[in-house]
Structure 1
Amino acid sequence: MTEYGRGPGSEPWHPEDPLYGDQGWGGQQPAAGHAQYGDQAHQQYPQQDPYAQEQYGSQQYGNQQYGDQQYGDQQGAYQDPYQQQGGQQYQDPYQQQHYDGGWETGPQAATPHGADPSATYGGRPGGYADQQQDYYGTPEAYPPQQPPERRQAAEPGPATDWEAEAQQEETHPFFTGRDDDDDGRDDEPRDPRGGGDGRDRRGKGKTKKKGGRNGLACLLVAAVLAGGLGAVGYFGYQFWQGQFGEPEDFEGTGIATTVEVTIPKNATGSEIGNILKSNGVVKSVDAFIAAQSKNPKGGLIQDGVYILKKEQSADSAVESMLDPASHNNLVIAEGRRNVLVYEQIDKRLDLKAGTTEKVAEEKADSLGLPGWAKNHENVKDPLEGFLFPAAYPVSKGDKPEAILKKMVARANAEYEKAGLESKAEGLGLQGPWELLTLASLVQVEGKTHDDFRKMSEVVYNRLEPTNTETNQLLQFDSAFNYLKGQSKIDISEDEINSNQDPYNTYTQKGLTPGPISNPGNEALAAALNPTDDGWLYFVATDGMKKTEFAKTFAEHQRLVDKFNDSRGN
């Protein structure tokens, strides 16, 4: 049947139908065949219907199919207006018949193949045109049929599959400008005649403008592009600066404002540069690194506390750090006694005199001394020999206890590296404590590295039980000065010989109870590697600068006379 419905009788395809004479969509369907009406035999045609097994996406309206072809799988509720006509219900005899490629035109005999189909339209007396109204004669009977590629979905009914495909349009909010809560619908009002989608659009509360999202999307894209170009430009500039440009730098030797800067141990040039930059001394790390590399002594910058001017050039900063005058470290000299170190700490921290010494006495056991340095008799200061000579960063606000711990830790590290504990026994000494004590004596009496080694041999030789020259008496003026808290050259024999203090080496055999100073690495090395020349005596013939050695008492006496002559005695 046609897709315009059928009447109770034969009603041929009207010539004015837009599809009249169409050989199928695209010319692929054969000419309309002729189905059997009533008891007449069905006429077969030799051509093969290419659409015999193909379904066009049609809809079923009631029990009627369009052209015996199925267009889609949807079913509609459309009722054929021609099923009830003239009080007689029409039953389609072709509902269950298989479509064979022809178009049915009514219950009358089919027009022979190749005959003029116009004969069924009023061309024959008594035809349908003479008996009933031609329903195709009015334009309101049906809408114009179009081929699939030109068809448009009808309203209000649902569109067929191929119609929806033909009319598919872009609905993404990026292109339509709709908000995500629009549900893909246009905010424009629907047909007031009732052809809308049945949704109430009242009460939205705001008016939306089409294209708003388009503008926002464009702005976002433009912002992203601008940000990307800016990033590329920035990194490009940084790369150019790193490869070809001069690093940022101040000019001159700085302003009057100074700052205290602490450089940690083993800091690299980059780390030093970052510290200086963060304190406002230099303008950039790169400038400092370049200046340090350019300066021949740049690698000699040490850890410690520095007082530096702000906003000075990198070259000036390097020179300042190489100048001892800018160091704000607490420097402990080799051979200095603890009592003098305590005074230095009190002054640096603006503390009352005696504050650090009191802390050392009360907390000596908790400052990090090794086990072999504890519990010795007659020791005047258990920390003596453990305030290792070096430069220590000290800032205002530091506590004496913290500074003392740093010094003891440094001494432990140096003594372990030197091997005091493992080498003492091989030298005939009773442990590292005696070896440290020996080094402290050599440190005070000697002036040069050669002096240290010869003086070490003097000590070892006098400690020998077979020594009959001095009978194991060391006879060091420095030990007597230590116990007296003084530094004298001229000491009377009566004063020395009358004093029985354990630290008086004129009256007491062997080593002092403990170290009398803080020896440095040279004195430690000399104590571990003395000469082997037979030295037993020494005299500072010029008082302070030159020391001469002797192997016998007679040679020693000639050196004493030389010393007295130099003093005018």
Structure 2
Amino acid sequence: MKLIFKLLGLLLITTFVTVGFLLWYQYDNFLETPVTSTEDPTIFEIKPGSSIRTVANQLEERGIIAHGILFFAHARLTGSAHKLKAGEYQLTSGMKPDDLLKKFVSGQVLQYQLGIIEGKTFKDIVADIRQHPQIEQTLTDEDYKSIMQKLDAPEGMQPEGWFLPETYHFPRKTTDLQFLQRSYQAMQTYLDKAWQGREQNPHIKTPYEALILASIIEKETGLPEERPLIARVFLNRLEKGMLLQTDPTVIYGMGESYDGNIRKADLRTDTPYNTYTRSGLPPTPIATPSKAAIDAVMHPASGNVLYFVATAPGAASHFSVTLDEHNRAVQQYILNRNKAEKP
């Protein structure tokens, strides 16, 4: 009888050892097996509130891993079961189950992007946001009319010019308001820092005035390296009490009536933005200026230049000190343009 019990005990021990070895072998083999998918890369989403069991089952159902229960067990054994972060993840071939788990715990979610291009108006920026498939649209037309209030900006501030041109990366379901908040804060930060390190100028009294002038420089710039000299032209004109006489401000003031051409009648038609009829800076920026345009206002080139005109379409500008010199440069531009247009 004792022998039977000994044999049964030995059998049970052998069984436990065998089962344990098989489980360990399967578990170890599972951890060393790369994920599989019909797509590379594969996009996998962990929804908010998902448990590790739900995630493991979804991975198995999609054929990414072979055994959801082993992924669940691995997460529990490593203490990661309650550390998974919601979001979209990009999975690539060659990753192993432990790589997936670490990625889910790290929160390295898939990022999308949208660039704000310098020289664009706020209307253009809104259109780009509304067309982006991964930005959650929460703002109505009425909301956009009071967008600066929603961004906790000072009362009365207009949105034009206040969104820093950059390429922004963000996870899916970022809202339109969150995107704008990030860009607005980035512009505030950059403008404040640039203002602190500026060269003093009595005609630019506030950071907002610098932003307005930077927007004009952005629209007037043919070549990036000319920005500081263009800034000097406008600062010199402000110092002498001259009209800025810059076409982009007139175009901005024309609004929807602008058809791609600007005529003498447009230059004579008064609007708050017509710098041919009104002195000083316009009331708001006319576009979103780049960092380089802001820097040009804060650190302009030196010189007595008061005028500039392109030497040819798309070419460098000729900067002049006197009106006579400028008029000759304009005539040369017309000649060069006509030559370029001839077949």
Instruction: Mark the CA change 1:249 to 1:550 in structure 2 (over 3 Å): closer, same or farther.
Output: farther
Matched residue, 2:247: 477
Indicate which of 334, 339, 342 corresponds to 1:564. 334
The one-letter code of the counterpart of 1:430 is K
Instruction: Give the Å deviation of 1:495.
Output: 2.2
The one-letter code of the counterpart of 1:520 is S
CA contact (8 A) 1:424 1:430 kept: no
Matched residue, 2:5: 211
Matched residue, 2:59: none
CA contact (8 A) 2:40 2:92 kept: no
Indicate which of 103, 115, 119 corresponds to 1:335. 119
Instruction: Mark the CA change 1:249 to 1:531 in structure 2 (over 3 Å): closer, same or farther.
Output: farther
Instruction: Mark the CA change 1:228 to 1:260 in structure 2 (over 3 Å): closer, same or farther.
Output: closer
In structure 2, the gaps of 5 or more residues are 46-84, 100-109
The one-letter code of the counterpart of 2:236 is N
Indicate which of 134, 147, 157 corresponds to 1:363. 147
1:38-72 CA-to-partner distances (Å, cap 9, x unmatched) read xxxxxxxxxxxxxxxxxxxxxxxxxxxxxxxxxxx
The one-letter code of the counterpart of 2:285 is P
Indicate which of 220, 223, 229 corresponds to 2:16. 223
Instruction: Give the Å deviation of 1:452.
Output: 0.8
Q: How does 1:120-159 map to 2 (within 5 A)?
A: none
Distance, in Å, in 2 between the alignment partners of 1:236 and 1:395 is 34
1:108-130 CA-to-partner distances (Å, cap 9, x unmatched) read xxxxxxxxxxxxxxxxxxxxxxx
SS of the equivalent of 1:513 reads coil
- Pair 1:400 & 2:176 matched: yes
Q: How does 1:11-410 map to 2 (within 5 A)?
A: 211=5, 215-216=8-9, 219-220=12-13, 223=16, 227=20, 248=34, 255=39, 278-284=89-95, 304-305=111-112, 329-349=113-133, 357-369=141-153, 371=154, 374-375=155-156, 382-393=158-169, 399-410=175-186
CA contact (8 A) 2:198 2:299 kept: no
- Pair 1:414 & 2:225 matched: no
1:426-479 CA-to-partner distances (Å, cap 9, x unmatched) read 233211111111111111111333211111111211111xx1xxx331111011
SS of the equivalent of 1:543 reads coil
Distance, in Å, in 2 between the alignment partners of 1:342 and 1:546 is 32
Instruction: Give the Å deviation of 1:356.
Output: 5.3
The one-letter code of the counterpart of 1:563 is Y
CA contact (8 A) 1:479 1:505 kept: yes
Instruction: Mark the CA change 1:358 to 1:395 in structure 2 (over 3 Å): closer, same or farther.
Output: farther
Distance, in Å, in 1 between the alignment partners of 2:147 and 2:190 is 22
The one-letter code of the counterpart of 1:414 is Y
Distance, in Å, in 1 between the alignment partners of 2:198 and 2:91 is 50
Distance, in Å, in 1 between the alignment partners of 2:259 and 2:325 is 24
Indicate which of 488, 499, 513 corresponds to 2:283. 513
Distance, in Å, in 2 between the alignment partners of 1:256 and 1:234 is 25
Matched residue, 1:82: none
Matched residue, 2:264: 493
| Greater relative contact order structure (CA < 8 Å, 6+ sep) | 2
The one-letter code of the counterpart of 2:142 is K
Instruction: Give the Å deviation of 1:530.
Output: 1.1
Distance, in Å, in 2 between the alignment partners of 1:236 and 1:279 is 23
TM (normalized to structure 1)?
0.42
Distance, in Å, in 1 between the alignment partners of 2:199 and 2:150 is 27
Instruction: Mark the CA change 1:360 to 1:236 in structure 2 (over 3 Å): closer, same or farther.
Output: closer
Matched residue, 1:550: 320
SS of the equivalent of 2:333 reads helix
Instruction: Give the Å deviation of 1:512.
Output: 1.4
SS of the equivalent of 1:548 reads strand
The one-letter code of the counterpart of 2:166 is A
Count of residue correspondences: 284
Alignment RMSD (CA, Å): 4.4
Q: Percent identity?
A: 23
Between Structure 1 and Structure 2, which shows a larger proportion of helix residues? 2
TM (normalized to structure 2)?
0.66
Indicate which of 216, 235, 243 corresponds to 1:460. 235
Distance, in Å, in 2 between the alignment partners of 1:503 and 1:349 is 35
Matched residue, 1:438: 213
Instruction: Give the Å deviation of 1:521.
Output: 1.7
CA contact (8 A) 1:444 1:478 kept: yes
Matched residue, 1:81: none
Instruction: Mark the CA change 1:219 to 1:448 in structure 2 (over 3 Å): closer, same or farther.
Output: farther
Distance, in Å, in 2 between the alignment partners of 1:356 and 1:412 is 24
Instruction: Give the Å deviation of 1:338.
Output: 0.6
SS of the equivalent of 1:539 reads strand
Instruction: Give the Å deviation of 1:537.
Output: 0.9
SS of the equivalent of 2:308 reads strand
- Pair 1:530 & 2:300 matched: yes
SS of the equivalent of 2:200 reads helix
CA contact (8 A) 1:339 1:357 kept: no
CA contact (8 A) 2:119 2:215 kept: yes
SS of the equivalent of 1:426 reads coil
Asked which structure has the greater CA Rg, the reply is 1
Instruction: Mark the CA change 1:479 to 1:488 in structure 2 (over 3 Å): closer, same or farther.
Output: farther
Matched residue, 2:71: none
CA contact (8 A) 1:505 1:511 kept: yes
Instruction: Give the Å deviation of 1:539.
Output: 0.9
Instruction: Mark the CA change 1:547 to 1:568 in structure 2 (over 3 Å): closer, same or farther.
Output: same
Matched residue, 2:200: 426
Instruction: Mark the CA change 1:285 to 1:338 in structure 2 (over 3 Å): closer, same or farther.
Output: farther
Instruction: Give the Å deviation of 1:424.
Output: 5.4
Distance, in Å, in 2 between the alignment partners of 1:444 and 1:346 is 24
CA contact (8 A) 1:496 1:504 kept: yes
Instruction: Mark the CA change 1:215 to 1:258 in structure 2 (over 3 Å): closer, same or farther.
Output: closer
1:56-98 CA-to-partner distances (Å, cap 9, x unmatched) read xxxxxxxxxxxxxxxxxxxxxxxxxxxxxxxxxxxxxxxxxxx
Distance, in Å, in 2 between the alignment partners of 1:531 and 1:463 is 15
The one-letter code of the counterpart of 1:449 is P
